[in-house]
Amino acid sequence: MNILFIENFKLFKKLTSVKTIGGIETNTNDIIKDLRQKGHKIWVLNRDVKPKWLEKEEINLIAASTFDPITYFQISKYKKKYKTAAVVIHGHTTVEDLAGNFVPDKPIFNKIFKYWLKLLYGQAHLLITPSEFSKECLMNIQTFLTYPIHVVSNGICIEEFKENNNYRTNFRRFLSQQYGISEDSVVIINVGLSWRKKGVKTFGEIAKKLPEYYFVWVGPINKNPEIDEAIKLNNVIFTGFYDDIREAYYGADLLLNTSWVENQGIPIIEAAICKLPIVARDLSAFDWVSHDHSCYKAQGVDEFVEGINKIVSNSNFRKKIVENACGDAKELHDFERIGEKIEKLYSRAIKVKKIWDRKRNK
């Protein structure tokens, strides 16, 4: 396949002053790399110069993974230019995920973005989304079914998360040098952008009840009053962007995910691969891990505290859930398998486009 890939991460980074857009950016890079390794020709619109092979060959598929207006107009432009090209959009973004993150959680904004996403995704011949939860959200914005929606995990490249003895040492040294945390302290991390909907307030409330442990949020900081309140506690730290997230996973004692909304939640998958025990809010997107089998699920602050204490104090329980989570993550989220699914769906989109064209021309 000859693929034009559209992403506008540079724009997001400029607008939000962060170094990474997290799982969406990682997934996009993994897909592009995998497809190139499989022999497909890729032109990444906002990164690459126009390739020479386009002088003699046509684009037969346009893929996109961002949701901004520029992405919309770029898709429209190249659909007109390459009339036989199918369009696949990776539907990482839902109204539920946007509210309180990129935009205020207000009814008027939710209506605007519902309309916007409906307009954007309506350009696709096929939509790929990472979970059954996000599929349900996207189904809800359709007036009628205009494109098939397929659920495919974002996945992770498991080989990249193999344990290295230096990871824990490096992260613990960082915490010691930057924040005076002794290397034998219990360190509980959360990973990702610190949007309010990621549960910053809950994170701080849990830390307040467990002053004997350190709570470290690793990821780009989105300044808001809830962060200001949380960092008043002596045992709460927001590190900002951290160069090698593997060091944080292997250097911590537990992952605490307090998010209110997730379309998938890549940090949970990464933590599972690194055999870091997980306490997470009981969300639909986290259905691939189960309570007391591969993680501890909670809703209220007291339940989160109970889960943390159980994992820290019970080594047998801790060992059981990390082994089960790791096994499930490898089975369900290995990008080698995910890449094959993406490739097949791209090919299917081209067939869908041809069928649509035949019906229109009758």
The DSSP-derived string for 155-201 is: -B-GGGG---HHHHHHHHHHHHHHH---TTS-EEEEES---GGGTHH
Phi, psi of 126 (to 5 degrees): -155, 140
| H-only helix segments in the chain | 9-16, 23-37, 69-81, 95-98, 107-121, 132-140, 165-179, 200-209, 225-230, 245-251, 266-273, 301-313, 315-333, 335-360
> Range with the lowest mean pLDDT among 101-105, 116-120, 258-262, 266-270?
101-105
Walk me through the domains of the chain, giving residue ranges and CATH numbers: 2-155+335-360 (3.40.50.2000), 158-333 (3.40.50.2000)
The amino acid present at 222, given as its one-letter code, is N
Of the two residues 24 and 331, the one the predictor is more confident about is 331
| Residue 193: closest CA among 89, 266, 93 | 266
- What CA–CA distances, in Å, run from 90 to 5, 151, 297, 343? 11, 10, 28, 13
Examine the pLDDT at 36 and tell me if it is beyond 90: yes
Q: What are 14's two structure tokens?
A: 């400029």
The pLDDT-based confidence of 112 (bands split at 50, 70, 90) is confident
Residue 306 has pLDDT above 80, yes or no: yes
pLDDT more than 70, % of the chain: 96
The pair of structure tokens assigned to 315 is: 């080594």
* Span 57-63, average pLDDT: 95
Tell me the pLDDT band of 13, cut-offs 50, 70 and 90.
confident
Q: Are strands 278-281 and 214-218 parallel, antiparallel or unpaired?
A: unpaired
Distances from the Cα of 44 to the Cα of 5, 123, 290, angstroms: 5, 19, 38
**Residue among 268, 256, 350 at smallest CA distance from 312:** 256
Contacts for 201 with CB less than 8 Å, ≥ 6 apart: 226, 229, 230
pLDDT digits (tens, 9 = 90+) for 278-298: 999 999 999 999 999 999 999
Q: Is 29 left (phi over 0), alpha (psi -120 to 50) or beta?
A: alpha
Q: What is the pTM of this model?
A: 0.91
List of residues 6+ apart from 340 with CB closer than 8 A: none
**Residue 21 predicted with pLDDT over 80:** no
pLDDT at 348: 96
For residue 285, how many C-alpha atoms fall within 13 Å in the half-sphere facing its CB? Answer: 28
Inter-residue contact 222 to 195 (CB < 8 Å)? yes
What are the φ/ψ torsions at residue 63 (nearest 5 degrees)?
Answer: -120, 145
Predicted confidence at residue 152, as pLDDT, reads 97
Length of the chain: 362
Contact 219, 244 (CB under 8 A): no
User: Is 45:74 a contact under the CB 8 Å cutoff?
Assistant: yes
**Interval 72-87 mean pLDDT:** 95
d(CA 349, CA 344): 9
- Token digits for 87? 């369009």
Looking at residue 113, its pLDDT comes to 85
Mean pLDDT of all residues in 311-331: 98
